[in-house]
Structure 1
């Protein structure tokens, strides 16, 4: 029995060593429910669960690189990362060189958020000149013309959670958030302190980019994502973080 256990342990060690190492990017601006980072490594969250599941499905060993959002593009160009998830085709003017798009996986709705008690729907284009809470390095297509005209002013934070915390503290009257992060934030505070959704700004489908390189099992990863989407595994991961209807655009 002891010899059998030793043999099994040796086999598992060998099998793991044979799996290719894939470098996944993690944006440091992400916060829960997308990801929680401890000591420069992700430990939980929707995207962490998704990337872990993808690594298991494709039989690769994940290695996580936490980067500032503004450094992600350069890391892709330099070949420092192999997989970048939670991205939209609309965020790029041209297809990133040497990377292949996955199918759409998850929906993201960007919403205009107001302070507790501000329940009246608003139209962003009709807001008076004011600062709007935003996240450093994020582009907001619907609001860009208003930023360019100076009718709205960006007040950047390093993460989505920090932008919402500043709104709750009264630093500004409105902020932009993805709907999933807003729901998560409101679950952590008393009812009277919950922020309000005042308008949907845009909705887009997000997927992953996989480096197209002989050293990367590109097609294996892309096929794994198709299986995960078709089996409902990705939807179940999203629902685990409190958003039962959040994959609609991804399904489309």
Structure 2
């Protein structure tokens, strides 16, 4: 009888236990349209929709883990996040073990932008400060930064970079195409920021923890299905 009681208590405890959530990394420096972060919580944006759609596909509750960009690789090394998205192998400073890559989901174009479309292009700049996102790497420009031909002027997120350009803190900035379109969408035509040239294009996907506690293949399949079905493009279309 005692053994049966213990067994019943164990079954009840397991039944009451909350299912394991699917842990997504969220970088504090993300801004709209990529992510809306309010009071330390992810509440909207492209990745909010992607994360929720992915979790729904695999029948898990999404858990958004907000952290500084500098801590994300440490979190991956300790396997405290299950899915990291909007990332390219070329952006990683170190090899991250124990994760599998999804197929590319997005193509990001990084652009040199200015308030005046007739200003000089990148190769004609000399000792100029360029608006950049703190902690974000721009591989094609590293030699120019290292030589001092151009200097970084970091802001916490992409939206702040463009706002500083708008008010004249510097003459040039780097922006993703999707962030620029979002910034310009409600601006009068005379005040929109202009593209001078494309400086990079990168295919971005997700990294998924390869662990027995995580339905790794099901998550990768869900991401593939969202891409093939056009759902990823539909999400992006909301923010153009």
Give the TM-score normalised by the residue count of structure 2: 0.90
1:181 to 179, 182, 193: 179
Residue in 2 that maps onto 1:147: 145
Q: How big is the shift at 1:194? A: 1.2
Question: What are the equivalent positions in structure 2 for 1:149-164 lying under 5 Å apart?
Answer: 149-164=147-162
For the 8 Å contact 1:37–1:43, the answer to whether it is kept is yes
Q: What is the rounded CA distance, in whole Å, between the counterparts of 2:219 and 2:179 in structure 1? A: 27
Question: What are the equivalent positions in structure 2 for 1:103-114 lying under 5 Å apart?
Answer: 103-114=103-114
**Are residue 48 (structure 1) and residue 48 (structure 2) matched?**
yes
Q: Which runs of 5+ in 2 are unaligned?
A: 1-13
Residue in 2 that maps onto 1:64: 64
2:213 to 212, 215, 221: 215
Q: How big is the shift at 1:121? A: 6.7
Instruction: State which structure, 1 or 2, has the greater radius of gyration over its C-alpha atoms.
Output: 2
**Are residue 203 (structure 1) and residue 201 (structure 2) matched?**
yes
Q: Which runs of 5+ in 1 are unaligned?
A: 1-13, 243-252
For the 8 Å contact 1:121–1:199, the answer to whether it is kept is no
Residue in 1 that maps onto 2:167: 169
Q: Helix, strand or coil for the counterpart of 2:37? A: strand
Q: What is the rounded CA distance, in whole Å, between the counterparts of 1:67 and 1:157 in structure 2? A: 17
2:231 to 206, 213, 233: 233
Q: How big is the shift at 1:125? A: 2.3
For the 8 Å contact 1:85–1:208, the answer to whether it is kept is yes
Q: What is the rounded CA distance, in whole Å, between the counterparts of 1:15 and 1:234 in structure 2? A: 35
Q: What is the rounded CA distance, in whole Å, between the counterparts of 2:96 and 2:55 in structure 1? A: 22
For the 8 Å contact 1:19–1:59, the answer to whether it is kept is no
Q: What is the rounded CA distance, in whole Å, between the counterparts of 2:16 and 2:239 in structure 1? A: 30
Change beyond 3 A, Cα 1:41–1:16: farther
Q: What is the rounded CA distance, in whole Å, between the counterparts of 2:17 and 2:205 in structure 1? A: 28
Q: Helix, strand or coil for the counterpart of 2:140? A: coil
Residue in 2 that maps onto 1:28: 28
Residue in 2 that maps onto 1:87: 87
1:139-179 per-residue CA deviation (whole Å, 9 max, x = no partner) reads 00121100000110001110000011000110001000101
Q: How big is the shift at 1:69? A: 1.0
Change beyond 3 A, Cα 1:16–1:196: farther
Q: What is the rounded CA distance, in whole Å, between the counterparts of 1:121 and 1:86 in structure 2? A: 31
Change beyond 3 A, Cα 1:105–1:133: same
Q: What is the rounded CA distance, in whole Å, between the counterparts of 1:208 and 1:166 in structure 2? A: 30
Change beyond 3 A, Cα 1:125–1:197: same
Q: How big is the shift at 1:191? A: 2.3
Q: Helix, strand or coil for the counterpart of 1:131? A: strand
For the 8 Å contact 1:27–1:66, the answer to whether it is kept is yes
| Count of aligned residue pairs for this structure pair | 227
1:99-130 per-residue CA deviation (whole Å, 9 max, x = no partner) reads 11000001100000101xx1127431221211
Q: How big is the shift at 1:16? A: 11
